[in-house]
Structure 1
Amino acid sequence: MALTITFWGTGDAMGVPRVYCSCAVCEEARTGGVNRRLRSLVHLQDEQFGTMLIDCGPDWRNQMETAGLKRIDTVLITHAHFDHIAGLPEWADLCRWLKCRGKAYAMPDVIRDILIRFPWLSSHIEFHPIAGPLRFGSWDVETWKVNHGKNGYAYAFRFTDAERGRSFAYCSDSIALQGDELLPLADLDLLVLGTSFYREPYPFETRSVYDVTEALALIEELKPGQTRLTHMSHDIDLTRDYRLPEGVCYARTGMTVTI
């Protein structure tokens, strides 16, 4: 059975276009062009476990409407930053009206931070603290902490179907990974990696996400079968040809990958 991964959003924390910005990328995005990017999340569809999202950001309602979906069963949450959790109150309201309970899986510290901000969510969403490997259908899911630079840390997810010999990882918010942080990224069929800029010009200590040049060096080291780059700022212009290596490309809104 195939797992289908669809990119509902590929933008960074502010999305594209930036409200304040008149750069060529933002102006192209305002016309509905290829650079229009909602905040990053992916939709997973598998016959064995239903519909799942990784993250639930502030564009969730528009993303659901675009996809034509009325219900989501499960959400995995990478970390408690606004661009990854701001859609949770709307999801909770959906669950209230449909008289169902959503299931959200996150590390205990992430759940704590979410419920400090939105304490009422637990009335309609079951929050499951991750305490070890998860299992969804035939997929084992590993969760681990990754360096998020000046923003502290986030978590990433690796999905492995050992019976069918396939795997992918979602690592949207990370930088300068090393040692044990890299181990779950080995031997992947697909790596989804966050890259805000092509070559970020700001001091390293102020940064929080890989740039594309750094990501390409990491990809050369890890050698995944395919890589999709997401979490992109208005520095990335999808009308340009960046001459990325074979198997590596920028994710576009609506792009689907089947594993």
Structure 2
Amino acid sequence: MMKITFLGTGTSQGVPVIACDCQVCTSGDPCDKRLRSSVLIEDKHTTAVIDSGPDFRYQMLRAGVKQLDAIVLTHEHKDHLAGMDDIRAFNFRQEEPMDVFATPRVQETIIREFAYVFSSVKYPGLPRIKLIEIQNKPFKVGTLRFQPVEVLHYKLPVFGYRIGDFTYITDAKTIEPEEKEKIKGSKVLVLNALQKEAHVSHFTLDEAVRLAGELGAERTYLTHISHKLGRHAEIESKLPPGIHLAYDGLVLTL
């Protein structure tokens, strides 16, 4: 059995947005409170997180994560890796470096953004990171098998991942036919759906719904949601059968 916990379902600014008084940002519905996008994947033997954004510390506390075997990154934008410094607690508890799976391009960003981690002078208490290179081919994280699915975030290549019957796609605007074939047959699909209006680098709500219909998963959950999409309850009530808005704290089992 595999357990998936949505640690965050918001876009780069999260929801509510700082200083915004719109109906979504002032909503009292807990489903309208969205941290930056990330998911926790667990089976009996392995626990991994996809992306470690600025809210990583709070997400780990809120989900009660005591053991973390690896972080798997989709791409190098700040809202997906800025929280990596907080792996220190796991380094201390587990007495080993954290495995971080990333493409060479994303590794370059990590080394640049967290230069102090890789300095020849090792200040006490620094995060300890073991970078593991991935390409667009399957790899193992403990007992979990990850199949990368390459998508385009405007012109930036980004990895989504299929793990068994679960596929997670974030920050996508275009998916080539050969990559869509990797997704087909998934029981649960997660797609980004930023807002209703057209956007250069993200699926809109309508685009995500159409793609979900094309890919044919039993259930599709929409994530990476901005305050511009609308209130959770209102949008959820209008979605086709089998398609739902994800929300922070949602737990699925497969």
Q: TM-score, normalised by structure 2?
A: 0.89
CA distance in 2, matches of 1:46, 1:33: 27
1:47 and 2:40 matched: no
* Separation of aligned partners in 2, 1:140 and 1:72: 16
Contact 1:48 1:136 in 2 (8 A): no
Match of 2:152 in 1: 147
1:231 matched to which residue of 2? Answer: 224
When the two chains are superposed, the root-mean-square deviation of aligned CA atoms in Å is: 1.8
Task: Look up the equivalent residue of 1:146 and give its one-letter code.
Answer: V
User: What letter matches 1:182 in structure 2?
Assistant: K
* SS, match of residue 208 in structure 1: coil
Percentage identity across paired residues of the two chains: 32
What is the CA–CA distance in structure 2 between the aligned matches of 1:222 and 1:58, rounded to whole Å? Answer: 31
| In 2: Cα distance, 1:153 partner to 1:135 partner | 21
The 5 Å alignment of 1:77-226 reads 77-91=73-87, 93-98=88-93, 99-121=95-117, 124-131=128-135, 132-136=137-141, 139-149=144-154, 152-160=156-164, 167-197=165-195, 199-201=196-198, 204=199, 207-226=200-219
Alignment of 1:16-31 (within 5 A): 16-28=15-27, 31=28
CA distance in 2, matches of 1:181, 1:139: 20
CA displacement 1:154-176 (0-9 Å, x = unmatched): 1111113xxxxxx1111111013
Unaligned runs of 5+ in 1: 161-166
Matched, 1:65 2:61: yes
2-structure distance, mates of 1:53, 1:215 = 23
1:14, 1:33 → 2: CA distance? 17
**Counterparts in 2 of 1:89 and 1:32: CA distance versus 1, 3 Å:** farther
Query: CA shift at 1:179, angstroms?
Result: 2.2
Aligned length: 242
Distance 1:183 1:38 in 2: 30
CA shift for structure 1 position 22: 0.7
The gaps in structure 2 that reach 5 residues or longer are 119-126
> Retained in 2: the 8 A contact 1:188–1:225?
yes
Q: Compute the TM-score of the two structures, normalised by the length of structure 1.
A: 0.87
3-state DSSP of counterpart to 1:144: strand
- 1:37 paired to 2:34: yes
Q: Alignment partner of 2:252: what SS?
A: strand
